[in-house]
Amino acid sequence: MPRGSYTGRFAPSPTGDLHFGSLVAAVGSFLQARAHGGRWLVRIEDLDPPREVPGSAERILEDLERFQLSPDETVVWQGTRRAAHEAALDQLAAAGLLFPCACTRAELPPGPYPGTCREGLPPGRKGRALRVRVPGDPIRFVDGVQGPVSESLAECCGDFVVRRADGLVAYQLAVVVDDAWQGVTEIVRGADLLDSTPRQVFLQRALGLPTPSYLHLPLARDPEGRKLSKSLGADPVRSMPPLDALGAALAFLGHAPPPHGDLEARWAWAREHWDAGRVPREGGAVFGADGQAVYSPA
Ligand code: GLU
């Protein structure tokens, strides 16, 4: 790829403050964009008002500034993209790929959607959500960190929801439409989204959009091995100075920096040394049993 045509992004949902896992995604996507001489964009995925935490989008943007993570273009708010998401739904409907589904969550068994409404709504039932028909053939792609992925959507999730019963457009669809609109060429994000990627690659193909390359970073875990979430209290992003939290994120990504220097020097070191090939597939625990950050570089 010629230098300069790379576009990367960080796409947080405003459902809480920036936590260590999202800092890792921001740092990894930023360094990867810089290593390619490309653009780094920020998109606030305010797609799900019921799950939003008021003020968290603004706090995430402030935190990024504290880390000197400045997007190269104006921040995009996904909530403003509704018309484009609806147009993509229309395109899928015109291709015969959508069907209304009457099932409530309580009516569905765990596991893949059993196809209850695929051939038409049961008599007397009203459509609630819209689902997309998935193919039987596996979706394949090679992830830059996690390696080859092959998944049959029919087996893993079945026909999935693209417009929810509450009328909101599903993340899987919106992310595909907006990544393509912003010209994103590589998606660098946490491995918790690896199992969403086959659905997104399928939607890209169904909508005639290019598939970017993917790089799924290791997941940050708490001492019990659970994924770090925005609800966890102890978190280096809030409790450590930015210099130390950045050092911890870099160490977590296989790039432990020298302990000295200020934030600017640390970024300069990271830009010079960044090599996605050094990012480990699996992340360790971020905190020791004493609650102290394990990856503190000091
Ligand atoms: N908005 C999603 C999240 O915060 C991430 C979307 C993405 O990176 O594709 O979990």
Q: Residue 106 is part of a domain; what is its CATH number?
A: 3.40.50.620
**Residue 295: inside a domain:** no
Q: What is the pLDDT of residue 187?
A: 98
Q: Tell me the CA–centroid distance for residue 14 and ligand 1, in Å.
A: 10
Q: Identify the domain containing residue 100 by its residue range.
A: 96-172
Q: What is the pLDDT of residue 9?
A: 98
Establish whether residue 193 lines the binding site of ligand 1, counting it when its CB lies within 6 angstroms of any ligand atom: yes
Q: What is the pLDDT of residue 222?
A: 72
CB contact at 8 A, 215 and 233? no
Rounded CA separation 40/29 (Å): 8
- Decide if 230 is catalytic: yes
**Residues 168, 183 share a domain:** no
Q: What is the pLDDT of residue 227?
A: 73
Q: b/e per residue, 153-186, with b = 16+ CB within 10 A?
A: bbebbbbbbbbeeeebbbbbbbbbbbbbebebbb
**Residues 103, 77 share a domain:** no
**Residue 298: inside a domain:** no
Number of H helices, E strands in the chain: 9, 10
**Residues 214, 241 share a domain:** yes
* Ligand 1 nearest atom to the CA of residue 196, by list position: 9
> How many C-beta atoms surround the C-beta of residue 254 within 10 A?
16
**Residues 104, 43 share a domain:** no
**Residues 186, 72 share a domain:** yes
**Residues 58, 183 share a domain:** yes
Q: Identify which of 277, 274, 222, 224 has the alpha carbon closest to the alpha carbon of residue 246.
A: 274
Query: Which residues of the chain are modeled with pLDDT < 50?
Result: 296-298
**Residue 213: inside a domain:** yes
**Residues 183, 76 share a domain:** yes
Establish whether residue 12 lines the binding site of ligand 1, counting it when its CB lies within 6 angstroms of any ligand atom: yes
Rounded CA separation 250/217 (Å): 12
Q: What is the pLDDT of residue 240?
A: 79
Q: Identify which of 64, 41, 36 has the alpha carbon closest to the alpha carbon of residue 275.
A: 36
Given 230, 232, 251, 296, the catalytic residue = 230
**Residue 293: inside a domain:** no
Establish whether residue 9 lines the binding site of ligand 1, counting it when its CB lies within 6 angstroms of any ligand atom: no
**Residues 192, 272 share a domain:** yes
**Residues 107, 62 share a domain:** no
Q: What is the pLDDT of residue 2?
A: 54
Q: What is the pLDDT of residue 296?
A: 47
**Residues 121, 61 share a domain:** no
**Residues 183, 54 share a domain:** yes
Strand order in the sheet with 129-132: 98-101, 129-132, 160-163
Of 154, 172, 190, the residue that ends a domain is: 172
Q: What is the pLDDT of residue 215?
A: 98
3 state DSSP class of 81: helix
Q: How many domains does the chain have?
A: 2
**Residue 292: inside a domain:** no
Q: What is the pLDDT of residue 231?
A: 53
* Ligand 1 nearest atom to the CA of residue 192, by list position: 10
